[in-house]
Chains A and B, each alone.
Chain A
Amino acid sequence: MIKAENIVKSFDGRTVLKNISVQFEAGQTNLIIGRSGSGKTVLLKCLVGLHEVDEGAIYYDDVCFSTLDFRRRKAIRRDVGMIFQGGALLDASTVEENVKLPLDLFTDQSEEEKMERVNYCLKRVNLDHAHHLYPSELSGGMVKRAAIARAIVMNPRYLFCDEPNSGLDPQTSIVIDNLIQDITKEYNITTIINTHDMNSVMEIGEKVVFIYEGNKWWEGSHDDILQADNKELNDFVFASAMAKRARGVF
């Protein structure tokens, strides 16, 4: 479980997150949605500790993460996996080296054990043919899948995904969404996904938090979202012509 309590974050005097409190449970896919510039990426980066909050607290299970020093945060971070918008694979390393890096640095496993784990993770994301390819040789979908393999290689308890579908076609997006959801269920991970892709919301949004101008505006499940009478949420959800037509049909 990850919990944010009354968090506030400002940049150069501009308040980006305004007193947000939210709880994300383990074993379910939690989605943060909102328009570009609404503050959802900042919220995700605050949750993961890449930005320090100005006020409020962030809890990983019962541990107050926001007050921990560097060394104790480092210990928690070994339980954290993150998939970045652009994949953030190390350019100078192959897919295999990227996935193996956390094992090399933080485990005392033998080379055979490490390779077994790397092979398993790459197979899990259907990249068992791409061991020796460099990130520049991969397609957008393959980069995301390699990033997922790297994120899960240490068996994380918390998984953060920043717009995992951006730049992908709808079919590949569904593959990535389902993969993240399957991994979440399989390992009972607390997964938080930052997205503005409505397909993802309807496909895997077990808990959805809508951020509007730095405030938590609405929360519920993908089943509730279509019936919600929140104007800003409806404007966001039914923004596309296709969604408007679908709303007319149903």
Chain B
Amino acid sequence: MFRIFESIGRYTLLMQKVFSRPEKMRIYYTRIMYEMEALGLNSIGLTAIISIFIGAVVTLQMAITLESPFIPQYMIGYATREVMILEFSSTVVALILAGKVGSNIASEIGTMRITEQIDALEIMGINSASYLILPKIVSTVFFFPFLAIFSMLIGIAGGYAMASITGIMNPTEYIDGLKYCFYIDEIWYALVKMAFFAFIITSISAFFGYYAKGNSLEVGKASTQAVVVSSIAIMICNLILTQLLRT
């Protein structure tokens, strides 16, 4: 229990260091652009593949489950849209990104720690926490919501493709379902959640990497811990945000 509080304290101190005034904004801008490509753009492929298949499978499952003369077919499109927008494109995609981006960040920063690259930055008078972590946080908080939108679109398209290709339902009814009871607030809710999750993934993974010590085994351990702790934090945050934003 003491270790948990100690870790929370160290995490808070690290974040204080991360959000202190940057040395030179222009350098940070360049780094943010670099991280946006490394952490955001490079995750588009994975997000697309997973979203299209989940969208298709959700449509298939809904079509099988809701097969009843009392339930209109457009409800399948409606249910698929709700699943994709409300939970999959933000929460599930965030969990997937915690695995991909989180482990990447923790191992990158952890390796920099054990090979003394972080010490070298400190010796130069550079705030290493801010220089290394802030651009990652800014780029993911900005870019991940776009990934969420992309995931929604691809997932819904996957569902449509499933309906069209297999003939399990009428594609026109699917489109009708997508339009049924649509509120733009749902999109905002998903985007706000994703921005929070982006912060959680990046800051927690950076924390475990930044305080890694020892050898490559420890970096591997830090990377695993980063993914596990960020996933748990995402689930807790999801519950709190849903309670706050949807009720």
Name A's B-contacting residues (CB within 8 A).
48, 50, 74-75, 77-78, 80-82, 84-86, 88-91, 101-102, 104-106, 154, 160
CB 8 Å contact bits of B91-125 with A (1 = contact, 0 = none): 00000000000000000000110011101111111
Number of interface residues of B (CB under 8 A): 16
Which of A74, A102, A105, A106 is most buried by chain B, counting CB atoms within 10 A of its CB?
A105
Q: Is the CB of A50 within 8 A of B125?
A: no
Kindly list chain A residues whose C-beta atoms are within 8 Å of the C-beta of B122: 50, 77
List residues of B whose CB falls within 8 A of some A CB.
Answer: 23-24, 27, 111-112, 115-117, 119-126
Contacts of B115 in A (CB 8 A): 86, 88, 91
Across-interface contacts of A78 in B (CB, < 8 A): 124-125
With a cutoff of 8 Å between Cβ atoms, the chain B residues found around residue A104 in the complex are: 24, 27
- What residues on B are CB-neighbors of A154 within 8 Å? 124
Contact A84 B23 (CB under 8 A): no
Residue numbers in B under 8 Å from A86 (CB-CB):
115-116
Report how far A74 CA is from B125 CA in the complex, Å: 5
A50 in contact with B123 (CB, 8 Å): yes
Chain B residues whose CB sits within 8 angstroms of the CB of A77 once the complex forms: 122-125
The CA of A84 and the CA of B120, in the complex, are separated in Å by 8
A203 CA to B222 CA in the complex, in Å? 43
Cβ contact within 8 Å between B124 and A101: yes
Task: Give Cα A85–Cα B116 distance, bound, in whole angstroms.
Answer: 9
Q: Are B27 and A105 in contact (CB under 8 A)?
A: yes
CA of A88 to CA of B120 in the docked complex: distance in angstroms?
Answer: 6
* Nearest-CB residue, chain B, relative to A101: B124
The CA-CA distance from A81 to B124 in the complex, in Å, is 7
| Known A104-B24, A105-B23, A105-B27: A84·B125 in contact at CB below 8 Å | no
Question: Which residues of A are found within 8 Å of B123, using beta-carbon distances?
Answer: 48, 50, 77, 80-82, 160
CB-defined contacts of B24 to chain A, threshold 8 Å: 104-105
* Cross-chain pairs A/B with CB under 8 angstroms, 25 sampled: A48-B123, A50-B119, A75-B125, A77-B123, A80-B123, A81-B123, A82-B123, A84-B116, A85-B116, A86-B115, A88-B115, A88-B116, A88-B119, A88-B120, A90-B120, A91-B111, A91-B115, A91-B117, A101-B126, A102-B124, A104-B27, A105-B23, A106-B23, A106-B125, A160-B123
* Beta-carbon contact of A105 and B126 below 8 Å: yes
Name the residue in B24, B112, B120, B121 with the highest tally of chain A Cβ atoms < 10 Å from its Cβ: B120
Contacts of B121 in A (CB 8 A): 90
* Given A80-B124, A84-B119, 18 more pairs with CB closer than 8 A: A50-B119, A50-B122, A74-B125, A77-B124, A81-B123, A84-B120, A88-B117, A88-B120, A89-B117, A90-B117, A91-B111, A91-B115, A101-B126, A102-B124, A102-B125, A104-B24, A105-B124, A160-B123
| Nearest CB on A from B240, distance (A) | 34
Q: Chain A residues with Cβ under 8 A from B111's Cβ?
A: 91
Min CB gap B25→A, angstroms: 11
Which B residues are CB-close (under 8 A) to A90? Answer: 112, 117, 120-121
- List B contacts of A89 (CB < 8 A): 117, 120
Provide the bound-state CA to CA distance between A95 and B116, in Å. 17
Q: What are the residues of chain B within 8 A of A160 when measuring CB–CB?
A: 123
Residues of A within 8 A of B23 (CB): 105-106
Nearest first, the 10 closest Cβ-Cβ pairs linking A and B are A77-B125, A88-B120, A88-B116, A82-B123, A84-B116, A105-B23, A74-B125, A78-B125, A88-B117, A102-B124
Q: Which residues of B contact A84 (CB under 8 A)?
A: 116, 119-120
A78 to B126, CA, bound (A): 9
Q: Which residues of B contact A88 (CB under 8 A)?
A: 115-117, 119-120
Q: B residues within 8 A CB of A105?
A: 23-24, 27, 124, 126
Closest Cβ–Cβ distance, residue B147 to chain A (whole Å): 22
CB distance from A235 to the nearest CB of B (A): 30
Residues of B within 8 A of A82 (CB): 119-120, 123
CA of A233 to CA of B122 in the docked complex: distance in angstroms? 34
B107 → chain A closest CB, angstroms: 12
Chain B contacts of A80 at CB under 8 A?
123-125
**Minimal beta-carbon separation of A167 from chain B (angstroms):** 14
Q: How far is the CA of A86 from the CA of B114 in the complex (A)?
A: 10
Closest to B122 in A: A50
Could you tell me the distance between the alpha carbons of A85 and B120 in the complex, rounded to whole angstroms? 11
Q: In the bound complex, how far is the Cα of B176 from the Cα of A49, in angstroms?
A: 66
For A154, give the chain B residue with the smallest CB separation: B124
Give B109 Cβ to nearest chain A Cβ, in Å. Answer: 11
* CB proximity of B32 to chain A, nearest CB, Å: 14
